[in-house]
Amino acid sequence: MIYAMLDDLLKADNVVVRAPNALGDLVMATPAFARLAAHYGRERLTLVCLPAGKPLLNGNAWFREILPYDRKGEHRGLLGGMRFARVLKQRHFDLGILLPNSFGSAWQFLQGGVKRRVGYFKEGRSFLLHAGLEREHDAAGKFVPKYTGQYFMELLDVIGVPPGPLVPTLPVTEADRANAASALAQRVPGDGPLVIVAPGAAYGPSKLWPAERFAQVIKALPEARIMLSFGPGEEATADKVQKAAGRSFATNQGLDLGTLKAVYEKASLVLTNDTGPRHIAVALGVPVVCIMGPNDPRYSALPGVEKGEVLREPVDCTPYTWPCQLKECPIDHRCMQSISVERVAAACRASLQA
């Protein structure tokens, strides 16, 4: 359903894009960013994203400006929201493209004076949008799972933006690479393959493979240089891995996200749950062994682009349906528990030997 004339949207001179919040989703949105830049040009595009995501895009060729929306800091609450709305108003945007589904993101663009707004018709926000799309349902009325990056691309189809390749990418600057080389020389010296292990998951505990099993896989890769990678709130999980392994590992602690991108770029393998580090690795062309339990792989799989292997074990979760998409397992976490250390270690060795 389209309310605004397509020609008006395609000819917009000053466009603002609201990025998704999760880092993995932000990476999967990069094909949409590239497609927008190919049509509108970098000098006509601005991105709004959370502060945590901004360094991930440093050095990009898609946006003239990235505006951090600090919803937990200076833009928190009603007064903070009004403060950010004034930031948007000062820039006089004539088109806003909303990649998140939230009501709040559309309301934010309305309050910020964005003249035309495009997004999915979700969360009762249709009246705030000038063009958009209903999320696809099957015959039973359930959402049709699809790769998140494709979901974003289909929104651009609605307004007629010319097509582009569905391949996520991340910019890495030479300064980032220099910082990464220095950090690796200090933290994980040697000549063995660099394996980054990301045992956390911001989504919730249902995505977590046991920390003790990560430790056992690491022990099965004695030739590898190991770096533990974790985000805010995941420190305890990383600590469990080190305690279970009986030794300390180099970590990403203290590295900015720009440097960490370049560290990932140098890795031979990333071992991870189904979370942001997986998508960072994919965007950098690094092989991944991903341990997946409760989530539907159709939301995150990109055949032909992703290198490595996604490990899953079908289970009967009656009375629940697997994959459940729940943040916490209501029973015994059997979908993750049934993925063995031996299977994961074998997948890692196969990738390192490929």
Superfamily per CATH, domain 6-158? Glycogen Phosphorylase B; (3.40.50.2000)
Residue 49 and residue 40 in contact, taking contact as beta carbons nearer than 8 Å: no
pLDDT value at residue 170: 97
- Find out whether the peptide bond into 162 is cis, omega within 30 degrees of 0: no
312-320 contacts at long range (C-beta below 8 A, 24 or more positions apart): 312/339, 313/338, 313/339
Residue 102 and residue 123 in contact, taking contact as beta carbons nearer than 8 Å: yes
Instruction: Tell whether the model's pLDDT for residue 2 goes beyond 50.
Output: no
Alpha helices in the chain (DSSP H): 6-10, 23-28, 30-40, 77-89, 103-111, 148-158, 174-187, 211-219, 235-245, 257-265, 276-283, 334-337, 341-353
- How far apart, in whole angstroms, are the C-alpha atoms of residue 148 and residue 28? 6
CATH of domain 177-353: 3.40.50.2000
Residue 271 and residue 348 in contact, taking contact as beta carbons nearer than 8 Å: yes
Annotate 52-63 with DSSP letters as a single string: TTGGGGTT-SS-
Q: Which residue has the tokens 């559309």?
A: 106
Residue 260 CB partners (closer than 8 Å, separation 6+): 180, 229, 252
Q: Which residue has the tokens 């099965």?
A: 220
Strand partners, 132: 119
Token pair for 252: 């990403």
pLDDT value at residue 5: 65
Residue 264 and residue 277 in contact, taking contact as beta carbons nearer than 8 Å: yes
Residue 15 and residue 36 in contact, taking contact as beta carbons nearer than 8 Å: yes
Taking the domains of the chain in order of start, what are their residue ranges?
6-158, 177-353
| pTM (two decimals) | 0.94
pLDDT value at residue 196: 98
Q: What is the pLDDT of residues 267-300, one digit of tens each?
A: 999 999 999 999 999 999 999 999 999 999 999 9
pLDDT value at residue 291: 97
Q: What is the pLDDT of residues 207-237, one digit of tens each?
A: 999 999 999 999 999 999 999 999 999 999 9
Same fold, 6-158 and 177-353: yes
Q: What is the pLDDT of residues 136-159, one digit of tens each?
A: 887 777 878 899 999 999 999 999
